[in-house]
Amino acid sequence: MYSIFWVIGNKTYLPLLTLIPIFNIVWVFVVGFKGNEWAWQKGDYQDVETFKAVQATWNRAGIVQFIISIAIFVLYMFFFASLVANI
């Protein structure tokens, strides 16, 4: 959910290929499996615990963004349904 910001924050630009239509269907899974490995290789982390803490922060941010997106979508659907019901 937070992939573009994660890419920039971790200086791992290969996952930006997920922005290519059709190709991204496969590439999303590749990034899911290899993303942390690429971030570890590109990052300047002191130890594994620091790396895991940083990635946990990114995970929380992604979950929060996902929840907010779902809430906005649900509110939009309620708003749209109320407009249609009033017609």
Condensed to tens digits (0 to 9), the pLDDT of residues 9-58 reads: 888 888 888 888 998 889 889 988 998 999 999 888 999 999 999 999 99
Is 77's pLDDT higher than 90?
A: yes
Pair of tokens at residue 69: 């997106």
The pLDDT confidence band at residue 3, using thresholds 50, 70 and 90, is confident
Q: Does the predicted TM-score (pTM) go above 0.75?
A: no
Burial 8-19 (b: 16+ CB within 10 A, else e): eebebeebeebe
Distance CA 15, CA 34 (A): 9
